[in-house]
């Protein structure tokens, strides 16, 4: 069940609420992630549900030329990472993660997030798996 969001909720709180909703659906077994594309699509969906419940919905864009997801007119930028098959979790992606962090750090957005999940989610390990960068 998706949480109700008040109209006063700021855009960065929309991201955090959508992330928690997504994790909750994964924990219940309603969603199984197999790729970063799956993660992005399901987060986009959760963001859209929350945004559409507001009097003035927020624009959401996937895969623009800069980041995985953008909310508003560069209000929030989101980069997502999902472990590559047979790559020892994120060890082979360290460079990509570092580059994403640099990209988010130099972003013109008001807020930036890096979202990371494990292939086999453990609710206790992943509750804080989206990090507010700026």
Please report whether residue 4 resides in a domain: no
The larger pLDDT score, comparing residue 80 to residue 12, is at 80
Are 67 and 6 in contact by the 8 Å Cβ rule? The answer is no
Q: Tell me, what's the pLDDT at 126?
A: 40
Q: Which residue has the higher pLDDT, 10 or 15?
A: 15
Confidence class for position 91, pLDDT limits 50, 70, 90 = low
Query: What are 15-57's pLDDT values in tens digits?
Result: 889 999 998 898 888 988 888 899 999 999 999 999 999 888 8
Is the residue at 69 inside a domain?
Answer: yes
Residue 2 has pLDDT above 50, yes or no: yes
Instruction: Pull the structure tokens for residue 59.
Output: 């624009």
Domain of residue 117 covers 11-132
Number of domains in the chain: 1
Query: Number of C-alpha atoms within 13 angstroms, CB side, residue 5?
Result: 28
The candidate with the shortest Cα–Cα distance to 81, out of 61, 65, 104, is 104
25 part of a folded domain: yes
Q: Residue 104 domain-assigned?
A: yes
Question: Whose CA is closest to 23, among 134, 132, 133, 122?
Answer: 122
The answer to whether residue 2 sits within a structural domain is no
Q: Is residue 6 part of a domain?
A: no
Instruction: Tell me the pTM.
Output: 0.77
In a domain, 68, yes or no: yes
Handedness of CA 42, 44, 46, 52 (dihedral sign): negative
Burial class, 87, CB count within 10 angstroms (exposed 0-12 / middle 13-18 / buried 19+): exposed
Is residue 34 in some structural domain?
yes
pLDDT digits (tens, 9 = 90+) for 67-78: 999 998 778 889
């Amino acid at each position: 069940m998706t949480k109700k969001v008040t109209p006063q909720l700021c855009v960065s709180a929309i991201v955090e609420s959508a992330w928690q909703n997504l994790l909750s659906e994964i924990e219940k077994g309603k969603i199984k992630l197999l790729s970063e594309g799956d993660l992005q699509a399901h987060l986009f969906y959760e963001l859209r549900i929350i945004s559409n419940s507001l009097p003035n919905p927020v624009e959401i864009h996937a895969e623009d030329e800069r980041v995985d997801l953008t909310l508003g007119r560069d209000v929030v930028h989101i980069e997502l990472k999902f472990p590559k098959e047979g790559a020892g979790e994120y060890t082979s992606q360290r460079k990509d993660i570092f580059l994403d962090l640099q990209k988010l750090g130099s972003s013109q957005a008001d807020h930036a997030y890096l979202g990371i999940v494990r292939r086999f989610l453990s609710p206790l390990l992943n509750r804080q798996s989206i990090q507010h960068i700026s």
